[in-house]
Structure 1
Amino acid sequence: MPQNEETASRPKLSLLKLTTLNVYWYGLSFLWNTIHPLVLPTILLNFVPETSKNTYLGLLTFLGLILAMLVQPIAGARSDQFRSRWGRRRPFIAFGTLLDGIVLIGIAYSRSVTGIFVGYIALQISSNIAHGPMQGLIPDQVPDRQKGLASGIKNFMDVFGLITASVLAGKLLTPDNSDPLPIFRVVIGVLLITALITILTTHEESTVSEKNKTKEPFSLKQVFAVDFKTNRAFGNLILSRFIFLLGVYGIQTFAQYYIIDVLAVENALKATGEMMTAIALALVFCALISGWLTDKIGPVKLMNLAMVTTALGGLSLIFVHDMQTLTILAGVIGGGMGFYLTTNWTLAVRMAPPDQAGKFMGLTNIATAGASAVGRLEGPMIDLANGITPGMFYGYKFMFLFCFICSLVSLIVFNVFLAKEKKSPKDCDVVVPQ
C-alpha cells in the first residue's frame, strides 16, 4: 500500500518536540516499573503465605492486566472520536493521571490483601484511560520519515523510567520498611509533571467543529473489530509481539522471589533493583540505536537480531548461580528487548490507519498486556514445580527455559509471515498499511 499522503507530508519535528511529545511515557513507565517488579511483591509478603507468594502475585496481576487489555483499546478508540476544544488525546491523559494519584494514595493506606487487590484493579483502569489515547500521539503528530526516531525516543522514556524506578524504590523500600507511601508520593509527582509537559507542549486541533460531521456511533464491538484480511501484517505483528513478551514478562515479575529463594541475597529488593537497572541500561542503548537504524535500514533485520539475542540470554539464565552473572545476562536480555520494542513499535505505528490510530495502537495492548497477564500465570506453576523437589527450584528453571522457547517461536512466526508475503524485508516496511 502506498504511504498515507497526510502523514507523509507533515513537517519535520525538532528533537525537543519529539521528546516532549513522548515524555509522559516516562511517567507511565516509572509508575508500572515501581509497582510490578518492586513494590507489589514487597508489600504482598506482609499479607500472604511464604510458600504461595508467586501464586498470589501472579493471579493478582493477571486479573489486573486482563482489565488493561480491555480498557486501553476502548479508551484509545473512544479518543479517536472524541470532540473537544483541547483535541482528542489530551483530555484522556489529564483525566487518567488525576485518577492515578487518587488510587495510589488509597493503595498506600491499604492494610489487607483485599485492599491491595481493589486498589491495583482501580489503578489498571485509571492508568489505561490515559495510556490508550497516549498511543495515538505519534501516529497523529509525527511524519512517516521520523516515526522510527519517535519510537526510539518513546522506548528511551520507557527504559529511563525503569532505571529511575529501580534506583529510587531500592532506596525508599527496604525489607524492614515496606511502607509504599514515600515512593508513591514520588510516583504521583512524576506522573503529574510528565503529563503536564506532554499536554502543554503538544498541539492538537480543536475537534469541536467535527461534532456535526456524520460519524459512526461508538460501539464496543467496533473497538475490537479488525479486518485481519486487510490488516494481515498488523495481526501477525500482534501475534509475534505477544509470544515474545510472554517469555520476558515472567522473568520480570518473579525475579525478586528467584533472587530470594535461589541466590539467597541478603537485600533482595536492592539486588532486584540493580538487575532491573542492568536491563534498563542495555535497553536504553539498544533502543536509541535501533530507532535511528530502523529509519535507515528498516526494522526486520533488527527484530530478528533482537529475538535471537533474547533467546540466548534466557537459555543462559538456567545455569546462573551468582548475582554478578545474573546481572550480566539480564543486560543481554535488556539489549534484545531494546532492539525488539523499538522496531516492533515502529512497524505498528506505520501500519496503524491515521483515522484509527488510537484504536489500532490500543489493540497492540492485546499483545503487551495480554502477554504480561498470561505470563503472571507462571506463578502457580513455579510454586508447584518448586515444591516437587524442595531446594532444586525447578520452577525458576522452567521460567528461563520458557523465555528461550517464546523468543524462538516469535522469530519463527514473524519470518514465516514474511516468507508468505514473498517480499524482501525492505519492501515489507513499505507495503504494510501506513
Structure 2
Amino acid sequence: MTSFDAAAETSGRSALAEPTTNPPWSWVSALSLVNLGITAGWFGPIQVLLAEQARAISPDHKEQVLGWVLGVGAFVSTVCNPLFGAFSDRTTLRMGRRLPWILVGAAGGALSLVVLSVAESVPMMMLGWCGVQMFLNAMYAAVTAAVPDQVPEARRGLVGGLLAIAQTLGVVGGVGIASVTGSIAAGYLVTIAVLLVLTLPYALRSRDLALPRDYRPPPFQLGRFLSSFWVSPRRHPDFAWTWITRFLVNIGNYVGTMYLLYFVTDGLGFSEDEGPDKVFWLTVIYALTMVFTTAFGGAWSDRLGRRKVFVIWSGIVAGTATLILAIPQTYPAAVVAAAVLGVGYGIYTAVDFALITQVLPAAEGRAGPRRHQHRQRPPAGVRPDHRRPAAHPGPQLRRLGGHPRRVVVFGVRRGLRLRLRGQRPRLDLRHPDPLGPVTDQLASASWRRTTGALAT
C-alpha cells in the first residue's frame, strides 16, 4: 500500500487547515482525468478547430479572425478565472467549495462547444469561444485550488508534475480528435463527449470539503475584489517575479502552439489537408519530451527542495527551441524544435505548481485573485496552469511581421525574463545538486536583492 493509499481516510480534515495527509491515488487519478478533459476542451479548438473555422469563414483574413477570437476569449479567461476562484472560496454548499463549480463548468463548457460546432460567422464563433473560456475557467479555478486544499506541500511537486502530464496528454488528445474526426462540427462534438466522460470520476469521488458551519466567509465586494489584483512587488517580490515568469513562459509557449497550423501550411508549404496531421505529430513529439521531463523533474525538485534552478534552465532550453523553429524554416527543424520546447516547458511545469502554491498566504483564499495559480491564463486564452490559455497576445501579433520574426521576438522575451548577470558559471559535479552552483553563479547579488528568495 502506498503512502497515498494509506492516507485515504478523510476524517479530521478541515477546509481551512493545511493538509497533513496525502490523498489516495484514486483521487489523484480522478483529478488528472478532469485536467485532461479540460485541456482537451481548450487545445483541440485552439490548435486546429478554431484555425480551420477561421479559414472557412474568412480565407483571406484568417489570421486576423483567429487573433480576435482568441484575444477576446483570453480577456474573458483573464477575468473569469480569478472571479470564479473568489466565488469558489466563498461557496458554502454542503457538497463542498470546489465541486459545484466543476459541475457547472462542465455543463456550460459542453453547451458552448455546441454553439461553436454550428457557428458560421465571426460573432457566433467569438460568442461560443468566450463561453468555453468562461465555463472551463470556472472548472479550472476549482480544480487548481483542490491541490493545496488536499495535498501537503511536500508532495505538491509530484502531484503537480502528474497533473502537467495529464494536461499535456489532453493537448495531444484534443489535437488528435480535431485531426481525425474529419469535420469541424464532429471535432467539437467528440470533444464534448471527452470532457463530460473525464469529469465524471472526479464528480463521484471529489473528497471536497465544505466550509465549517460556524465559518462565514466575508461577503463579496466588487471594489475589494478589483483592488486585490494589485500586490506590491516591493513588499512581495516573490509573488511579483513568480507571476511575471509564468506570464512570459505562457506567452512564449502558446504563441508557438496557437498559430502552429498556419505556420505549417503558410510557412512550411504543406496543404490544408496535410496541415492537421503535421500539427498532430509535432504535438505528439512535444508532448512525449515534456511528459518525460516532467515525470522526473517534479520528484527531483521535491527531493532537492529547490524550484528556482529549474525555472531558470527551462527558460534557457525553451528560448533555444524558438530559435531552432524560426531560423531554418523546415519541417525537420520544426520536429527538433518541438522536442526541445517540450523539454524546456517540461522542466518548468515540473516545479511551477509547487512553486505557485508555496506562496499561497491563506488556506481560506486558495482560489482567489491573489492566489498565483489563477493569475495566469493558458494565455490565449495565458492562465494555466500549466497548459491553460490565459494572456493571449491577440491581433497585435500580426504587427510583428511573419512567422519567423514573431517566434524570435517571443523567444527573446522569454530569455530576457531571466536577467542573468555575473560570473562565468562553473559546473560542480561533486555538489549534490550539480546545477545549483551554476544558477547561483549566474544570479548576481543585485538579482538576488531585487527578487528576494524566490521560493528556494
Q: TM-score range by the shorter chain?
A: 0.7 to 0.9
Distance in 2 (alpha carbons) for counterparts of 1:352 and 1:367 = 20
Q: 1:345 aligns with which of 353, 357, 363?
A: 353
Q: CA deviation at 1:221?
A: 3.2
SS at match of 1:358: coil
**Residues 283 and 201 (structure 1 numbering): CA distance in 2 closer, same or farther, change over 3 Å?**
same
- Report whether the alignment pairs 1:197 with 2:201: yes
Contact 1:238 1:367 in 2 (8 A): no
Query: 1:320: how far off?
Result: 2.4
Q: Deviations over 1:159-181 (max 9, x none)?
A: 010122222221113xxxxx322
Name the CA distance, whole Å, in 1 between partners of 2:454 and 2:260. 37
Q: Answer yes or no: is 1:324 the counterpart of 2:332.
A: yes
Matches within 5 A, 1:218-297: 218-224=220-226, 225=228, 226-228=230-232, 230-266=235-271, 267-297=274-304
Asked whether the equivalents of residues 237 and 451 of structure 2 are also in contact (C-alpha less than 8 Å), the reply is no
Return the offset for 1:82. 0.7
Structure 1: gaps of 5 or more residues: 174-178, 386-394
- State yes or no: 1:206 paired with 2:210: yes
What residue in structure 2 maps to residue 377 of structure 1? 395
User: Using the alignment, how far apart are the partners of 2:157 and 2:410 within structure 1?
Assistant: 27
Written as runs of structure 1 = structure 2, the 5 A alignment for 1:21-420 is: 21-50=31-60, 52-173=61-182, 179-207=183-211, 209-210=213-214, 213-224=215-226, 225=228, 226-228=230-232, 230-266=235-271, 267-297=274-304, 298-353=306-361, 354-359=363-368, 360-361=371-372, 363-365=374-376, 368=379, 369-370=381-382, 372-381=390-399, 385=401, 395-412=402-419, 419-420=448-449
- One-letter code of the match for 1:264? G
Structure 1 stretch displaced more, 91-100 or 348-357: 348-357
Counterpart of 2:168, as a letter, is: V
Q: Could you tell me which amino acid in structure 1 is paired with residue 238 of structure 2?
A: A
Superimposed CA distance per residue, residues 393-425 of structure 1 (whole angstroms, 9 cap, x where no aligned partner): xx11112212321221222289678611687xx
Amino acid at match of 2:455: D
Query: Structure 1: how far apart are the matches of 2:410 and 2:354?
Result: 23
1:83-113 Cα deviation digits (max 9, x unpaired): 0010000000001110111111121112222
- Tell me if structure 2 keeps the 8 A contact 1:242–1:367: no
Q: Larger RCO: Structure 1 or Structure 2 (Cα < 8 Å, ≥ 6 residues apart)?
A: 1
| Whole-angstrom distance in 2 between the partners of 1:279 and 1:208 | 44
Whether contact under 8 Å (1:73, 1:363) holds in the other structure is yes
Q: How far apart in 1 are the matches of 2:223 and 2:198? A: 33
| Residues 227-284 of structure 1, C-alpha deviations (whole Å, 9 max, x = no match) | 4355431222001111222222212111111111121113111111111121111111
Q: Secondary structure at the match of 2:455?
A: helix
SS of the aligned residue for 2:210 comes to coil
Count of aligned pairs? 403
CA contact (8 A) 1:309 1:336 kept: yes
Give, in whole Å, the separation in 2 of the partners of 1:289 and 1:220: 42
> Which segment is superposed worse, 323-332 or 70-79?
323-332
Output the amino acid matched with 2:259.
F
- Structure-2 change in CA distance of 1:336 and 1:164 (3 Å): same
Distance 2:378 2:122 in 1: 28
Q: Calculate percent identity across the aligned residue pairs.
A: 18
SS in 2 for 1:365: coil
Question: Which amino acid letter does the alignment assign opposite residue 404 of structure 1?
Answer: G
Q: Does the 8 A contact of 2:55 with 2:62 survive in 1?
A: yes
The residue type equivalent to 1:61 in the other structure is L
Gap runs ≥5 in structure 2:
1-15, 384-389, 421-438
SS where residue 30 of structure 2 aligns?
helix
Q: After TM superposition, give the deviation of residue 370 of structure 1 in Å.
A: 4.3
The answer to whether the 8 Å contact 1:286/1:338 transfers is yes
Residues of 2 paired with 1:69 and 1:428: CA distance? 24
Change (3 A) 1:254 1:378: farther
CA contact (8 A) 1:66 1:370 kept: no
Change (3 A) 1:118 1:421: closer
Give the letter for the 2:194 counterpart: V
Cα distance change of structure 1 residues 316 and 97 upon mapping to structure 2, 3 Å threshold: same
Change (3 A) 1:85 1:315: same
Flag the 1:299–1:85 CA change in 2: closer, same or farther, 3 A.
same
1:302·1:343 contact (CA, 8 Å) conserved in 2?
Answer: yes
Give the superposition deviation at 1:60: 1.5
The CA RMSD measured in Å over matched residues stands at: 2.4
Sort the Cα spacing of 1:102 and 1:312 in 2 relative to 1 into closer, same or farther, 3 A: same
**1:363 positional shift:** 3.3
